[in-house]
């Protein structure tokens, strides 16, 4: 399929593409290195957009603000955040090292301790909470998020009613998926489940859910960002001066891939090899086109596009 | 205060009492041993009622059924359950050892592994889930609870719609407290928070919350059980033939201690030394009487009772 995109097609044209995923938890560079080996073709980090890649956009705004980053193994997402230019990114394990009584039901392991930074959170107002990936300790992360939000950023500080807060804490989730397909027979609860759990507990404590920003497929922000990434990649490949590309999304998940592509006015192609099962009836969101698998989808998009608009550079965006 | 109950009062009467708490996670025997040392007076396990002590009542029903027990450190609550006569009690760590892909975001530590039992859960239908104490891994426990309930007990088995299930899995929580007073400046999220999180995720997955049983203060079942425990203790102390005692509840928490006592038609005394703060206005549930602290409360109850009903054996039930 990648060889087709790389020019092995009847039009002998290279089709710029990116990979767009709701996964994450490691730096794009590291993930692409692994992917390139697995797929046997080079995948450039400029072609790769995971759930939290969009946070690069806001690195100026948060570069010197104290933020909490949640999810992933140990402090892996802190390293991702630092790579994006968030210089004061802290983890809930840092919070626990500072004051173990914040969450008395977890004792830090040596491996966890080794990743922590010494921070006095009583003097470190947190501006934002970014949920990069699935939190490993839901209870700790929900507790700390509730602490930070209720006290305007100072963990353990006096509570300030939400309607009286001068600088409410920003809360950003990167992947809305309630479930995802893992190795187990039945789908597993995803980061969307963590969000549901957090909001329910926060509501029980305060009476209301907390306003938040949601990125990841199918959010429009993520599709808009992905189209910028793709144009950047075209620019890298061919230099400036290219028209806005026509975009195709190939995906297996009607609720995220197809819904998002349709809302962003991309063409959408639904395949049968993942979440969507054609024997279970119509998908919840109708695609522009159906295809057996990704290869068939890519072939269809190329023919469709280059036969009807032979002079326009065409682009396929590919799901992960 | 305990010396007053033990006879050092103007009436020179021993007043039978029990301790009633929403805490738990260890066997009554062990907890009482520690308490006796801390308080400097012997506390008999027959006088001690924690959130999950009521589960002793149902040990015949579940003695040979497969049940999951959640909460507490490692397999401590399995040991409590076995002490109650639940012979086939399993933990979510057992589930993870059986199949690590059930929850891919947690790798068992050696200490955790050492507490596990080898069970083939694909052939072990679970009849009930008992949440004894605050789960240490919310995500794992919510995932496994959703798996068990949706598939009529077989983890990884096909889902059966709830209205078509022949033997729905019983779900029992032992402590409803949303928050509790720990060492940290602000109250911490309790087992009630775990229940809220579970039900929200379950609803997101299935469209409805799951019917469950709730024990612990202020549930009427727990107050009824506590009065049985107290009568048993009176029986132990004085032999058979005593009338039903008049019951006093001394507590600091209007929502649990006072609400439950009032609903059970016990006399209730609210003290100022814990959750309830008289400077914050009226309590959410009005007690029979207010007192500065537990000692004052106990003295008042003794005087009140023995002066008005000198021939009736009087009893104070004491919060923890």
Tell me if B105 and A186 make a contact (CB, 8 A cut-off).
Answer: no
Shared domain for B281 and B226, answered yes or no, is yes
What local confidence, expressed as pLDDT, does residue B313 receive? 45
What local confidence, expressed as pLDDT, does residue B319 receive? 44
What local confidence, expressed as pLDDT, does residue A91 receive? 98
Averaged pLDDT for residues A203-212: 97
What local confidence, expressed as pLDDT, does residue A313 receive? 45
pLDDT tens for each residue of A279-304: 989 999 999 999 999 999 999 999 88
Q: Which of B214, B230, B253 delimits the end of a domain?
A: B214
Chain B residues whose beta carbon lies within 8 Å of the beta carbon of residue A184: 99, 101-102, 104, 156
**Mutation for B interface: A121, A179, A189, A280, most B CBs within 10 A:** A189
This complex has an ipTM of 0.94
Shared domain for A183 and A39, answered yes or no, is no
Percent of chain A's residues with pLDDT above 90: 83
Min Cα distance A263 → chain B (Å) is 23
As a 3-state breakdown, chain A gives helix, strand, coil percent values, each rounded to 5, of: 40, 15, 45
Q: Answer yes or no: are the C-beta atoms of B25 and B72 closer than 8 Å.
A: yes
pLDDT tens for each residue of A258-276: 999 999 999 999 999 888 9
For residue A269, what are the contacts with CB-CB under 8 A and spacing of at least 6? A248, A249, A250, A251, A287, A288, A289, A290, A291, A297, A300, A301
Nearest to B197 by CA among A135, A182, A90: A135
Averaged pLDDT for residues A81-106: 98
Residue A224 reports pLDDT greater than 90: yes
Shared domain for A164 and A64, answered yes or no, is yes
Averaged pLDDT for residues A143-155: 98
Shared domain for B263 and B299, answered yes or no, is yes
Helices (H) and strands (E) in chain B, counts: 11, 13
Residue of A nearest to B110 (CA): A109
What local confidence, expressed as pLDDT, does residue B317 receive? 54
Sorting pLDDT into bands at 50, 70 and 90, what band is A144? Answer: very high
Min Cα distance A109 → chain B (Å) is 10
Please, which residues bridge with residue B173 across strands? Answer: B131, B214
Chain B residues whose beta carbon lies within 8 Å of the beta carbon of residue A135: 139
Tell me if A136 and B105 make a contact (CB, 8 A cut-off).
Answer: yes
Shared domain for A246 and A107, answered yes or no, is no
Tell me if A186 and B138 make a contact (CB, 8 A cut-off).
Answer: no
As a 3-state breakdown, chain B gives helix, strand, coil percent values, each rounded to 5, of: 40, 15, 45
Shared domain for A227 and A127, answered yes or no, is no
Q: What is the DSSP letter of A268?
A: E
Q: Answer yes or no: are the C-beta atoms of A256 and A22 closer than 8 Å.
A: yes
Shared domain for A175 and A129, answered yes or no, is yes
Tally of structural domains, chain B: 2
Shared domain for B12 and B39, answered yes or no, is yes
Tell me if B201 and A196 make a contact (CB, 8 A cut-off).
Answer: yes
Q: What is the DSSP letter of B206?
A: H
Tell me if B201 and A182 make a contact (CB, 8 A cut-off).
Answer: no
Shared domain for A205 and A276, answered yes or no, is no
Q: Answer yes or no: are the C-beta atoms of A70 and A131 closer than 8 Å.
A: yes
For residues B150 and B196, what is the distance between their CA atoms, to the nearest angstrom?
18
Average pLDDT, chain A: 93
Shared domain for B238 and B111, answered yes or no, is no
Minimum mean pLDDT range among A124-128, A176-180, B8-12, B22-26: B8-12
Tell me if A184 and B138 make a contact (CB, 8 A cut-off).
Answer: no
The parent domain of residue A19 ranges over 2-51+218-319
Minimum mean pLDDT range among A6-20, A113-127, B141-155: A6-20
Q: Name the CA radius of gyration of chain A, rounded.
A: 21
Which residue ranges of chain B lie beneath pLDDT 50? 310-316, 319-320
Sorting pLDDT into bands at 50, 70 and 90, what band is A317? Answer: low
Shared domain for A123 and A229, answered yes or no, is no
What local confidence, expressed as pLDDT, does residue A64 receive? 97
Q: Answer yes or no: are the C-beta atoms of B268 and B258 closer than 8 Å.
A: yes
Shared domain for B181 and B229, answered yes or no, is no
| Residue A258: CATH number of its domain | 3.40.50.1000
Tell me if A182 and B109 make a contact (CB, 8 A cut-off).
Answer: no
Q: Which of B214, B244, B263 delimits the end of a domain?
A: B214
Q: Which of A167, A182, A214 delimits the end of a domain?
A: A214
Please, which residues bridge with residue B96 across strands? Answer: none
Strands B179-180 and B188-189 turn out to be: antiparallel
Averaged pLDDT for residues A119-138: 98
Min Cα distance A70 → chain B (Å) is 14
């Amino acid at each position: 399929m990648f060889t087709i995109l790389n020019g092995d097609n009847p039009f002998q044209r290279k089709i710029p593409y990116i990979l767009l995923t709701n996964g994450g938890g490691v730096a794009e560079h590291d993930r692409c290195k692994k992917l390139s080996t697995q797929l046997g073709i080079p995948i450039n980090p400029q072609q790769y957009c995971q759930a939290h890649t969009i946070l690069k956009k806001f690195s100026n705004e948060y570069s010197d603000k104290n933020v909490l980053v949640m999810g992933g193994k140990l402090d892996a997402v802190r390293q991702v955040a630092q790579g994006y230019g968030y210089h004061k990114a802290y983890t809930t394990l840092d919070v626990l090292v500072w004051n173990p009584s914040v969450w008395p039901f977890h004792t830090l392991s040596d491996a966890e301790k080794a990743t922590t930074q010494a921070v006095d959170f009583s003097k470190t107002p947190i501006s934002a909470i970014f949920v990069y990936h699935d939190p490993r300790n839901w209870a700790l992360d929900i507790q700390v998020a509730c602490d930070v939000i209720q006290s305007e950023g100072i963990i353990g500080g006096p509570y300030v009613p939400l309607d009286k807060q001068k600088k409410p804490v920003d809360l950003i989730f990167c992947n809305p998926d309630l479930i995802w397909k893992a190795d187990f027979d039945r789908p597993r609860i995803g980061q969307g489940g963590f969000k549901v759990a957090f909001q329910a507990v926060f509501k029980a404590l305060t009476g209301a859910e907390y306003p938040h920003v949601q990125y990841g497929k199918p959010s429009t922000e993520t599709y808009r960002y992905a189209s910028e990434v793709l144009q950047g990649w075209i620019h890298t490949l061919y230099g400036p001066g290219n028209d806005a590309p026509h975009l195709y999304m190939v995906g297996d998940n009607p609720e995220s891939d197809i819904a998002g592509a349709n809302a962003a006015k991309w063409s959408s192609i639904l395949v049968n090899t993942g979440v969507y099962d054609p024997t279970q009836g119509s998908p919840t969101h109708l695609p522009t086109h159906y295809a057996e698998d990704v290869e068939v989808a890519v072939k269809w998009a190329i023919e469709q596009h280059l036969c009807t608009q032979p002079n326009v550079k065409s682009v396929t965006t590919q799901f992960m």
